[in-house]
């Protein structure tokens, strides 16, 4: 299965449906598998006393409550119906992350291949139950989380948590866990891609990576380490106002990331060391054979004075050197001729 590439539009439309439409078209042109938004009823997610994160205040340049910020940059629920229809027209998958139970119900009814659980909801028991009840496969981000917290969330989603009182339709096979760091942008020394190995081995799930660094190198490296999903924020312009634009790719960069990931996938190949079809013709050019180091007459005994090793690799392999030494020439061999016994 190819790596699933998700272009995270998030709230980089700044609450403008026209901008969101253009983001769908840009993501489709870049060749991603899904374009993903963030769906919320702000009053159900954020209290009036919740402060902005430092990166939000810095990136927006505004002193305001987190609630006021989110009211400005979120779309009303009904707009996502139009965005989903546009995704279908453009040939790209539609996804959105719900941040509250009303949004979970709305998106569940709208229909998606995956339900995305954001890092901030990984310790939200009623929310995780609501997500599980939908029976839609889950992509679970794990920023700010310990391994134990991730395991507990998986137990809730799959119905095995002791607090659960329902039979979940989900199994671990229905969940992909994304390693993630929620700082925007993430410092490279805090990325810790090797954590994907622990998530995979200890939790028995498929893994991927949600990236908030400023370039494309880390998502590509994540694919090389076995990420099955890559999620990356993008924007129409990093000069736009908003909390996430500074840690997002612009459309041309998103396209380059997609190309780099697909090239990396192709380069990974399989686990077997073998001669590839593309390099097979080079064997005769680059390898060597046993050849005459000078003119050799019929009956002469081959020794280190009259034979040597040179290209091309069309004759007796130098690996048979010891078998050739001491044998007699069956015919004349001029200088540089391939040695043979026929």
For 10-56, how does the pLDDT look when each residue is reduced to its tens digit (9 = 90+)? 999 999 999 999 999 999 999 999 999 999 999 999 998 888 777 77
Rounded Cα gap, residues 51 and 45, in angstroms? 13
Q: Do both 17 and 35 map to the same domain?
A: yes
What's the confidence (pLDDT) of residue 61?
A: 65
Contact 212, 12 (CB under 8 A): no
What's the confidence (pLDDT) of residue 292?
A: 98
For 47-103, how does the pLDDT look when each residue is reduced to its tens digit (9 = 90+)? 988 887 777 776 666 777 888 888 999 999 999 999 999 999 999 999 999 999 999
Residue 10: both structure tokens together: 């998030």
Residue 340 has pLDDT above 80, yes or no: yes
What's the confidence (pLDDT) of residue 58?
A: 67
Q: Do both 141 and 117 map to the same domain?
A: yes
Last residue of a domain, one of 210, 233, 268: 268
Q: Do both 286 and 252 map to the same domain?
A: no
Q: Do both 302 and 169 map to the same domain?
A: no
For residue 334, give the CATH number of its domain.
Answer: 3.90.1210.10
- Chain position carrying tokens 């910020």: 69
Q: Do both 239 and 331 map to the same domain?
A: no
Last residue of a domain, one of 268, 285, 307: 268
- Mean pLDDT confidence for 235-239: 95
**Strand residue runs (E) in the chain:** 4-10, 34-39, 93-98, 115-117, 138-141, 175-180, 206-211, 229-233, 289-292, 307-310
Contact 179, 196 (CB under 8 A): yes
Range of the domain at 338: 276-342
For 109-120, how does the pLDDT look when each residue is reduced to its tens digit (9 = 90+)? 999 999 999 999
Q: Do both 255 and 325 map to the same domain?
A: no
pLDDT > 90: what percent of the chain?
Answer: 88
Q: Which of 121, 96, 95, 10 is nearest to 56 (CA)?
A: 10
Given phi > 0 = left and psi -120 to 50 = alpha, else beta, which region is 334? beta
Last residue of a domain, one of 240, 268, 296: 268
Q: Do both 39 and 163 map to the same domain?
A: yes
For residue 71, give the CATH number of its domain.
Answer: 3.20.20.70
Rounded Cα gap, residues 8 and 320, in angstroms? 59
List the single range of 47-61, 125-139, 244-258 with lowest mean pLDDT.
Answer: 47-61
pLDDT band at 163 (very low <50, low <70, confident <90, very high): confident
Q: Which of 181, 125, 183, 123 is nearest to 150 (CA)?
A: 123
Residue 180 has pLDDT above 70, yes or no: yes
> What's the domain count of the chain?
2
Q: Which of 137, 128, 134, 136 is nearest to 160 (CA)?
A: 128
Q: Which of 97, 90, 88 is nearest to 121 (CA)?
A: 97
């Amino acid at each position: 299965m190819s790596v699933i590439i998700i272009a995270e539009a998030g709230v980089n439309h700044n609450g403008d449906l026209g901008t969101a439409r253009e983001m769908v078209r840009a993501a489709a042109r870049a060749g991603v598998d899904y374009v993903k938004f963030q769906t919320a009823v702000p009053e159900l997610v954020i209290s009036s006393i919740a402060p902005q994160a430092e990166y939000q205040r810095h990136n927006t340049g505004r002193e305001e409550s987190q609630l006021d910020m989110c009211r400005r940059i979120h779309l009303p629920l009904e707009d996502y119906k139009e965005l989903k229809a546009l995704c279908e027209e453009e040939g790209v998958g539609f996804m959105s992350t719900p941040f509250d139970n009303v949004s979970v119900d709305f998106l569940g009814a709208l229909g998606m291949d995956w339900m995305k659980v954001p890092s901030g909801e990984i310790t939200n028991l009623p929310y995780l139950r609501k997500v599980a009840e939908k029976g839609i496969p889950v992509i679970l981000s794990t920023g700010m989380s310990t391994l134990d917290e991730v395991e507990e969330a998986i137990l809730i989603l799959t119905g095995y948590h002791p607090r659960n009182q329902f039979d979940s339709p989900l199994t671990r096979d229905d969940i992909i866990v994304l390693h993630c760091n929620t700082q925007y942008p993430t410092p490279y020394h805090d990325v810790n891609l090797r954590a994907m190995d622990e998530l995979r081995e200890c939790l028995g799930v498929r893994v991927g990576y949600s990236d908030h660094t400023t370039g494309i190198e880390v998502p590509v490296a994540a694919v090389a380490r076995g990420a099955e999903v890559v999620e990356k924020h993008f924007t129409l312009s990093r000069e736009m106002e908003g909390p996430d634009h500074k840690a997002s790719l612009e459309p041309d960069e998103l396209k380059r990331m997609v190309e780099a990931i697909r090239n990396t996938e192709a380069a990974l190949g399989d686990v077997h060391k073998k001669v590839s079809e593309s390099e097979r013709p080079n064997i005769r050019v680059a390898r060597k054979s046993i050849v005459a180091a000078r003119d050799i007459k019929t009956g002469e005994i081959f020794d280190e004075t009259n034979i040597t090793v040179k290209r091309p690799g069309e004759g007796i392999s130098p690996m048979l050197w010891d078998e050739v030494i001491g044998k007699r020439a069956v015919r004349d061999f001029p200088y540089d001729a391939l040695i043979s016994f026929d």
